[in-house]
Chain A
């Protein structure tokens, strides 16, 4: 028998606070579910069961002694395997680093979750170096989408999405350079937040692109996402990209609703991306729901995708090539084909290209700021529809269909994906909500109101395959 999905962070926190739930029992439930599902889902690269049991026992003893550290104490979590955790391998899902690459320190975000008393279950599958594809033959298998094993799980935080959507864990950390937190969330019917550039530390996380990399959580509910952000959003003076802004408050206004708010609908931006009819209908339905809750929804215009693409991918190509160039030349055979080819595109970028892309990025950021000056947040689709079949995923070096997530890596605005319905094939559809810089609280507030007015987040993937 398969153990039940783990409770949400909010449910687990309440249960532990009341004494109805034990961290040890919760950890055993998670480990039991992982053992039952993992042979098919491949979410984990490294499972740290012994360490988790010891951490859960320690948390339980501390809580029983009256020393509960906070709302996350004693709750299991997991890390995309590009985050360092002291004493554990950081593989980046690549033979280039391999299982011998043992971290000597925690990543800054790992350290915050450990200080909060969370229980690390292990390290999760990713696309190689957060850049490859799902079908490259690598040292570890690719994570599967529990909604349909032959469909794309989204990437690159694929294992993070799989672990959360399958109920192995309530929260997992991902990273997002062009959509890598939001797309697994979108394709697996869960919540994924890319905070503002600089809001969460990237220290101790394997870089892909210094200027585009963001860290953030994947969860089942918006409230859980806010709880994770409350623990994670602290300035890190040791991360050169970290913004010296005060800690945010993501929980006190979470349930304030949307009455009186103005939400921009990026309708023309979506229409230019050839959304499926189902995805278009999902966004239109979200507009209807938000209006019914008292929000004013107005259409807003964003810059054309082509300008975003030029700035975003020029910077990502150049920076990822700069990071990987020695290994690309000396040990090309250690990379998967997709990863190597995509990073090799950086060979085409000239110095003037890179400078022009940074200048364009500044202009685009200002243009999106201007759109957000007319509204409290912007609604758009994150992708063209439900997750494609694995056999239909574009794994060429140059992806012809760009997701609608990458523009906000370019501009650094916070952006979340939340469940937005289901296609006729039973697979998830998603919505993207984009906020003003450092206003994750507003993004979460609007997303929570939509979530509570719909039932999409209550649906679970089938387990017949297990």
Chain B
């Protein structure tokens, strides 16, 4: 296990105020690793004009 990943995982759970049962710890840690892999997409640059205000079409824009 990557020590930093494991420490981050435990910190996030502590901040969230939830506890993983020991029997499910490794499975949830694996899910966390999948999560980290997925959100790399969110680190890719986006134009500043790309704002969330209208996502997806609140207010009825057709």
List A residues at the B interface (Cβ < 8 Å).
196-198, 211, 235, 241, 243-245, 306-307, 309-311, 313-314, 321, 325, 328-329, 332, 337, 341, 344-348, 352-353, 355-363, 365, 396-398, 400, 410-412, 436-438
> A243 CB to closest chain B CB, in angstroms?
3
Q: Are B60 and A307 in contact (CB under 8 A)?
A: no
B28: which of A329, A341, A400, A436 is its contact (CB, 8 Å)?
A: A341
- New A-B pairs, 13, CB < 8 Å, besides A196-B57, A347-B18: A235-B60, A309-B41, A311-B42, A329-B18, A341-B24, A347-B12, A348-B9, A348-B32, A353-B39, A362-B52, A397-B27, A398-B30, A436-B62
Q: A344-B18, A362-B50, A363-B46 are in contact. Are A198 and B58 (CB under 8 A)?
A: yes
> In the assembly, what is the distance between CA of A329 and CA of B55, in Å?
30
Q: Chain B residue with minimal CB distance to A366?
A: B50
Q: A243-B60, A325-B16, A341-B24 are in contact. Are A306 and B46 (CB under 8 A)?
A: no
> A239 CB to closest chain B CB, in angstroms?
11
Residues of A within 8 A of B41 (CB): 306-307, 309-310, 360
Q: Chain A residue with minimal CB distance to B17?
A: A329
Task: Specify which of A307, A309, A348, A411 lies most central, judged by the most chain B CB atoms within 10 Å of its CB.
Answer: A348
> In the assembly, what is the distance between CA of A329 and CA of B16, in Å?
9
List B residues at the A interface (Cβ < 8 Å).
9, 12-13, 15-20, 24, 27-28, 30-32, 34-36, 38-39, 41-43, 46, 50-52, 54-62
> A349 CB to closest chain B CB, in angstroms?
8
B17: which of A325, A356, A361 is its contact (CB, 8 Å)?
A: A325
Residues of B within 8 A of A361 (CB): 52, 55-56
Residues of B within 8 A of A436 (CB): 62
The binding surface of chain A is classed by DSSP as helix
Residues of B within 8 A of A397 (CB): 27-28, 31
> A302 CB to closest chain B CB, in angstroms?
15
Q: Are B35 and A348 in contact (CB under 8 A)?
A: yes
Residues of B within 8 A of A314 (CB): 38-39, 42
A437: which of B38, B51, B52, B62 is its contact (CB, 8 Å)?
A: B62
Residues of B within 8 A of A341 (CB): 24, 27-28, 31
> A35 CB to closest chain B CB, in angstroms?
40
Q: Are B56 and A345 in contact (CB under 8 A)?
A: no
Q: Are A362 and B55 in contact (CB under 8 A)?
A: yes
Residues of A within 8 A of B24 (CB): 337, 341
Residues of A within 8 A of B59 (CB): 198, 243-244
Residues of B within 8 A of A347 (CB): 12-13, 15-16, 18
Task: Specify which of A321, A346, A362, A363 lies most central, judged by the most chain B CB atoms within 10 Å of its CB.
Answer: A362
